[in-house]
Amino acid sequence: MNLRHAALAAGLLMATPSLADTHIDNIEGVSVMRDGTIDRFAGMVVDEDGRISELLDFGDRPTREIDYRIDGEGRTVVPGFVDGHLHLMELGLGTLVLDLSETNSLDEALSRIAAYAAAYPDRPWIIGRGWNQERWGLGRFPTAAELDEVVSDRPVWLQRVDGHAGWANTRALEAGGVTASTTDPEGGRIERLPGSRNPSGVLVDAAMPLIDDVVPPPLPEDRDLALHNAQNLLLRNGITAVADMGTSVEDWMTIRRAGDAGRLRVRVMSYADSVDTMLLIGGPAPTQWLYDDRLRLNGVKLYLDGALGSRGALLNADYEDDHGNRGLPLLSGTQLRNLMSRAALDRFQVAVHAIGDAANREALYAIEELSEDYSGDRRWRIEHAQIVDPADLVRFGQHGIIASMQPVHQTSDMMMAEARLGEDRLGGAYAWRSILEAGGHLAFGTDAPVEPVDPLAGLAVAISRTNAEGEPFGGWRPEETISREQALAAYTAGAAYAGFAEGRFGRLAEGERADFVMLSADPLMANADQIRDIEVLETWIAGQRVYDHELE
């Protein structure tokens, strides 16, 4: 190599976003293997590509020459959390709407709405959520007329905190064609003014689509902003990689725009929202890893049933609180197998949403059958796997199945699950330990924005089966708790493995990307309450600091 080349090469290196060799020193490093085995270390060396070249014990010196040294100040360092199941763009789009969840009176809400409308004069609709007339002490639903007083120039549409009602102004009612002569749709209700058929402004449940369906889709620039905001939320919570469940073509284009512009920081393992989308994007095979291991289309997300709350989950027997109802299949057994085959044929990965025990059985049986034709390392995923017949748990240990579960659902849903199923049918509910003991692979996620973006809350639930209030005392069906190490593994190496990303990220190990978080305490030395209080101090991806709590 001549000198000119060397000079040119220096320019190349400086132009790359990565640092040169960096020694991150004076840390309490912890990483876990998928089986929960822990590694502890006191420092690591990160190379120019953002990969870990060396882990160091206390007192060790790096074997290669170092350009930069970072003092970790004795902080706990764990692998960046890998969120095995969330909805990236929905999380981001949620940040763009007006949040009324902290308002304590109708007047406060109205003034927030007025201020928001003034701040965004170009938005054709004002969209919001989170209001709660109970919290306001109002004793009744709010009205369109009250909304009209603060915004009358464009439609306003605000979802109630539970998502089961929407509050519209007159312009929104007009846009949705909701009038005195509109009849209540099945399963829905149009609230009416006293002594009149005139709509009052609130639409309940199945009446909500009357307006939802006329809300204009987000603008492209809103999508880009949404992805930006979603990434910030994730990084603030220590999440450095996600499995995006149900990527649409629009979502994919948005993610690629970010990747092309160098604005994709969080790693995304994508599961298309349909086989058509999967084939459109991937063509004859899953995509390669793009943008230095920051994006890959792995396969497809299929929906086999609905949720417990709406009694859409498929059960082996009647709902305890709705006799004669066993839920509604979203795919027939044949449809499920056909779609799974189409994906597996070209080695796309299949993730099947299954919540009820009948749905889980159907998914397990389908995997059993398809595994004959589609052998090898397929990593069939079952998403949620919430209610499993205890007799079926053993099947999670076969064919390399991945149980992609979200611990916080257990505490959010436990009372409802008891009502829906009765005590006796919950032997395989949120059965993390049983699945692990059966030999299944566990991947944890938040399911954001359905649940908060908070992997530490998930860890706390996983080891305690208690909610933030510590209830129920001793834990709900505590025989299914797992160890701290197992829980951390499911939120890091396990979720990475579930997306074919092992060896790239998910552990702090030589050759993997240096994605890590600095925490205010060690979650492997803390109880559930303490884990909930742990703060994410810094988040690093590929050896670069992408979040610092002090800069917020």
Number of residues that bind a copy of itself (CB under 8 A): 37
Angle between helices 455-464 and 407-421 (to 10 degrees): 50
Burial class (CB in 10 A: 0-12, 13-18, 19+), 95: middle
Decide whether 141 or 289 has the Cβ nearer to a copy of itself: 289
User: What is the pattern of x (binds a copy of itself, CB under 8 A) and - over residues 23-62?
Assistant: -------------------------x--------------
User: Would you state the structure tokens that stand for residue 506, as one six-digit string?
Assistant: 């998910």
CB of 379 to a copy of itself, least distance (A): 22
Which part of the chain contacts a copy of itself (CB under 8 A), choosing from 137-145, 250-258, 356-364, 393-401?
250-258
Instruction: Determine which residue in the list 121, 284, 324, 376 makes contact with a copy of itself, applying CB under 8 A.
Output: 284
Containing 483, the helix (H) or strand (E) segment is: none
Decide whether 10 or 145 has the Cβ nearer to a copy of itself: 10
Instruction: Determine which residue in the list 154, 228, 257, 399 makes contact with a copy of itself, applying CB under 8 A.
Output: 257
Which part of the chain contacts a copy of itself (CB under 8 A), choosing from 135-143, 246-254, 330-338, 534-542?
246-254
CB of 169 to a copy of itself, least distance (A): 28
Long-range contacts made by residues 522-526, C-beta under 8 angstroms, separation at least 24?
522/28, 522/30, 522/76, 523/76, 523/78, 523/456, 523/459, 523/484, 523/488, 524/30, 524/38, 524/484, 524/485, 524/488, 526/484
Does residue 228 touch a copy of itself according to CB under 8 A?
A: no
CB of 63 to a copy of itself, least distance (A): 12
Does residue 261 touch a copy of itself according to CB under 8 A?
A: yes
Decide whether 5 or 323 has the Cβ nearer to a copy of itself: 5
Beta strand 156-160 with 536-541: parallel, antiparallel or unpaired?
unpaired
Instruction: Determine which residue in the list 38, 118, 145, 253 makes contact with a copy of itself, applying CB under 8 A.
Output: 253
Instruction: Determine which residue in the list 15, 59, 61, 65 makes contact with a copy of itself, applying CB under 8 A.
Output: 65
Decide whether 6 or 180 has the Cβ nearer to a copy of itself: 6
Residues in the chain: 552
Please count the other Cβ atoms lying within 10 Å of the Cβ belonging to residue 37.
Answer: 11
CA distance 384 to 312: 14
Decide whether 276 or 529 has the Cβ nearer to a copy of itself: 276
CB of 275 to a copy of itself, least distance (A): 12
Please count the other Cβ atoms lying within 10 Å of the Cβ belonging to residue 402.
Answer: 26
CB of 290 to a copy of itself, least distance (A): 6
Burial 109-122 (b: 16+ CB within 10 A, else e): bbebbeebbeeeee
Does residue 96 touch a copy of itself according to CB under 8 A?
A: no
Instruction: Determine which residue in the list 2, 181, 196, 334 makes contact with a copy of itself, applying CB under 8 A.
Output: 2
Instruction: Determine which residue in the list 60, 184, 250, 548 makes contact with a copy of itself, applying CB under 8 A.
Output: 250
Which residue from 431, 396, 536, 522 is spatially nearest to 32, judged by alpha carbons?
Answer: 522
CB of 98 to a copy of itself, least distance (A): 22
CA distance 360 to 476: 21
**Is 237 in contact with 453 (CB distance < 8 Å)?**
yes
Name the DSSP class of 550. Answer: G
CB of 265 to a copy of itself, least distance (A): 18
Instruction: Determine which residue in the list 37, 40, 64, 468 makes contact with a copy of itself, applying CB under 8 A.
Output: 64
Which part of the chain contacts a copy of itself (CB under 8 A), choosing from 1-9, 91-99, 124-132, 143-151?
1-9
Instruction: Determine which residue in the list 6, 317, 419, 468 makes contact with a copy of itself, applying CB under 8 A.
Output: 6
Please count the other Cβ atoms lying within 10 Å of the Cβ belonging to residue 356.
Answer: 30
Instruction: Determine which residue in the list 33, 114, 279, 394 makes contact with a copy of itself, applying CB under 8 A.
Output: 279
Decide whether 9 or 180 has the Cβ nearer to a copy of itself: 9
Decide whether 136 or 348 has the Cβ nearer to a copy of itself: 348
Q: Report the chain's terminal Cα–Cα distance, integer Å.
A: 45
- Spatial neighbors of 156 by CB under 8 A, at least 6 apart, are 113, 117, 125, 126, 128, 147, 167, 168, 169, 171, 172
CB of 2 to a copy of itself, least distance (A): 6
Does residue 288 touch a copy of itself according to CB under 8 A?
A: yes
User: What is the pattern of x (binds a copy of itself, CB under 8 A) and - over residues 186-225?
Assistant: ---------------------------------xxx-xx-
Decide whether 189 or 256 has the Cβ nearer to a copy of itself: 256
Does residue 282 touch a copy of itself according to CB under 8 A?
A: yes
Decide whether 223 or 378 has the Cβ nearer to a copy of itself: 223
CA distance 442 to 137: 44
CA distance 58 to 41: 7
Q: Which residues pair with 297 in a beta bridge?
A: 270
CA distance 470 to 466: 5
Which residue from 361, 383, 245, 368 is spatially nearest to 314, judged by alpha carbons?
Answer: 361
Which part of the chain contacts a copy of itself (CB under 8 A), choosing from 251-259, 328-336, 370-378, 440-448?
251-259
CA distance 271 to 254: 15
Does residue 280 touch a copy of itself according to CB under 8 A?
A: yes
Decide whether 215 or 249 has the Cβ nearer to a copy of itself: 249
Q: How many CA atoms lie within 13 A of 306 on its CB side?
A: 10
CA distance 531 to 134: 32
User: Would you state the structure tokens that stand for residue 236, as one six-digit string?
Assistant: 């603030």
> Using CB under 8 A as the criterion, which residues of the chain lie in contact with a copy of itself when the complex forms?
1-2, 4-10, 12-13, 20, 48, 64-65, 219-221, 223-224, 249-250, 253-254, 256-257, 260-261, 279-284, 287-288, 290
